[in-house]
């Protein structure tokens, strides 16, 4: 088996790639950063810091007291950094800080069994952001509707793991007219860091416009920072579809959905947004009837929305 890189190695590779391509002071660049503080004499570990406000986050980063690697400005008021034990205690007692959590490894979630193509070629006008391992344009066969939008790992956005390309293809099965933007947060080894996942969501928060869906088929459960980031995306108008390990689809009233077949659900959401481009995420969540028992996605010309979603694992 190939040797797995630990978090410090992943951070080092991404930091070097980011520093090589950015000419401005990176500590104040959204979703990026640079260690401006002298090397510590004590061991350090990677952490995610969530501030109480964007102003508080800006002040903390501007003090240049921490080894900041990523600075989030849209989806999350906070930053990713390395801390010693003493610095960790100092930040946790700072009234400007809401939470501090360890950075950690994230992995892709299973995509479930393949499903048939939708009989309605919809999704025009909507953009689905596939937050995953990147995109292999040659294998995806998606034409000029799909592109590599952002790469949090410092690469070109090419998918060398395959998971992101397959997720994009499944989105396309449900919404063959939707635009698909690849947001790479996983490495070629098939895993990534929470800091890179947050950077991907932060990029979407700064660039998404028009009817938008974010498909996040990675395991980032039990992270306060990730919860904050997804809620922020929803408030900005992006419908967020997260992966679930098993069980039926479920929706949250605010505008999030979770499914073992997340890419298909994201495609169905894009179908709805073609006909209702101004629909808020909360409206879309209420329309997706995830708890109905029969397995089908079928066209119903007499219905108000022309589509009825039934469970079937979606």
* pLDDT tens digits along 205-222: 999 999 999 999 888 778
Strands 105-106 and 192-193, by their bridges, are antiparallel
* Among candidate residues 46, 48, 105, the one with its CA nearest the CA of residue 78: 48
User: Are 146 and 235 found together in one domain?
Assistant: yes
Cβ-count burial of 301 within 10 angstroms (0-12 exposed, 13-18 middle, 19+ buried)?
exposed
Q: Which residue has the higher pLDDT, 34 or 165?
A: 165
User: Are 58 and 142 found together in one domain?
Assistant: no
177 belongs to a structural domain = yes
112 belongs to a structural domain = no
Residue 248's pLDDT is what?
65
288 band by pLDDT with thresholds 50, 70 and 90: confident
Structural domain containing residue 19: 7-103
For residue range 131-172, what is the model confidence (pLDDT) as tens digits?
999 999 777 678 889 999 999 999 999 999 999 999 999 999
1 belongs to a structural domain = no
**In the predicted model, what is the mean pLDDT of residues 29-49?**
69
Going by the DSSP 8-state scheme, the letter that residue 143 receives in this structure is: G
* Among candidate residues 235, 192, 33, the one with its CA nearest the CA of residue 105: 192
116 belongs to a structural domain = no
For tokens 């499903």, the residue is: 115
User: Are 37 and 161 found together in one domain?
Assistant: no
User: Are 174 and 281 found together in one domain?
Assistant: yes
Q: Which residue has the higher pLDDT, 63 or 54?
A: 54
User: Are 87 and 159 found together in one domain?
Assistant: no
118 belongs to a structural domain = no
163 belongs to a structural domain = yes
User: Are 133 and 78 found together in one domain?
Assistant: no
Token output for 28: 């104040």
Q: Which residue has the higher pLDDT, 61 or 311?
A: 61
User: Are 181 and 86 found together in one domain?
Assistant: no
**Percent of the chain scoring above 90 in pLDDT:** 56
User: Are 11 and 89 found together in one domain?
Assistant: yes
119 belongs to a structural domain = no
Going by the DSSP 8-state scheme, the letter that residue 290 receives in this structure is: T
Q: Which of 36-45, 87-96, 158-167 has the lowest mean pLDDT?
A: 36-45
314 belongs to a structural domain = no
**In the predicted model, what is the mean pLDDT of residues 102-116?**
83
**In the predicted model, what is the mean pLDDT of residues 215-236?**
90
Count: domains in the chain = 2
For the domain that residue 148 is a member of, what is the CATH number?
Answer: 3.40.50.200
301 band by pLDDT with thresholds 50, 70 and 90: very low
Cα separation of 246 and 21, whole Å?
A: 40
User: Are 97 and 132 found together in one domain?
Assistant: no
Q: Tell me which H or E stretch contains 221.
A: none
For residue range 168-208, what is the model confidence (pLDDT) as tens digits?
999 998 899 999 999 999 999 989 999 999 999 999 999 99
User: Are 131 and 34 found together in one domain?
Assistant: no
User: Are 181 and 266 found together in one domain?
Assistant: yes
Residue 185's pLDDT is what?
97
Contacts of residue 125, Cβ cutoff 8 Å, sequence gap at least 6: 210, 211, 273, 274, 277
Residue 30's pLDDT is what?
56
Token output for 212: 């938008």
For the domain that residue 85 is a member of, what is the CATH number?
Answer: 3.30.70
Residue 117's pLDDT is what?
64
Model's pTM, two decimal places?
A: 0.82
**In the predicted model, what is the mean pLDDT of residues 245-261?**
77
247 band by pLDDT with thresholds 50, 70 and 90: low
User: Are 181 and 97 found together in one domain?
Assistant: no
Contacts of residue 235, Cβ cutoff 8 Å, sequence gap at least 6: none
**Percent of the chain scoring above 70 in pLDDT:** 75
Token output for 85: 């034990």
């Amino acid at each position: 088996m190939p040797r797995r890189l630990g978090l410090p190695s992943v951070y080092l590779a991404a930091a070097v790639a980011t520093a090589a391509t950015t000419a401005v002071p990176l500590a104040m660049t959204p979703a990026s950063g640079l260690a401006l503080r002298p090397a510590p004499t004590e061991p350090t570990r990677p952490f995610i810091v969530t501030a109480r406000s964007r102003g508080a986050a800006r002040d903390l980063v501007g003090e240049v007291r921490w080894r900041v690697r990523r600075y989030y400005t849209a989806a999350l008021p906070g930053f990713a950094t390395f801390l010693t034990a003493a610095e960790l205690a100092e930040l946790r007692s700072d009234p400007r800080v809401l939470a501090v959590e360890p950075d950690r490894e994230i992995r892709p979630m299973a995509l479930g069994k393949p499903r048939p193509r939708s009989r309605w070629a919809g999704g025009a006008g909507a953009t689905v952001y596939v937050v995953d391992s990147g995109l292999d344009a040659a294998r995806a066969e998606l034409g000029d509707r799909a592109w590599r939008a952002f790469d949090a790992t410092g690469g070109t956005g090419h998918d060398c793991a395959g998971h992101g390309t397959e997720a994009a293809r499944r989105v396309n099965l449900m919404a063959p007219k939707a635009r698909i933007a690849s947001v790479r947060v996983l490495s070629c080894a098939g895993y990534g860091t929470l800091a890179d996942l947050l950077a991907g969501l932060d990029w979407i928060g700064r660039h998404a416009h028009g009817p938008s869906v974010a498909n996040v088929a990675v395991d980032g459960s039990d992270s306060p920072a990730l919860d904050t980031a997804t809620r922020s995306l929803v408030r900005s108008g992006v419908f967020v579809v997260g992966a679930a390990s098993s069980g039926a689809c479920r929706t949250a009233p605010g505008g999030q959905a979770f499914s073992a077949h997340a890419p298909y659900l994201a495609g169905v959401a894009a179908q709805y947004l073609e006909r209702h481009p101004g629909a808020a995420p909360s409206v879309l969540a209420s329309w997706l009837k995830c708890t109905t028992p029969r397995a089908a996605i079928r066209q119903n010309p007499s219905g108000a929305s022309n589509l009825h979603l039934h469970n079937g694992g979606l």
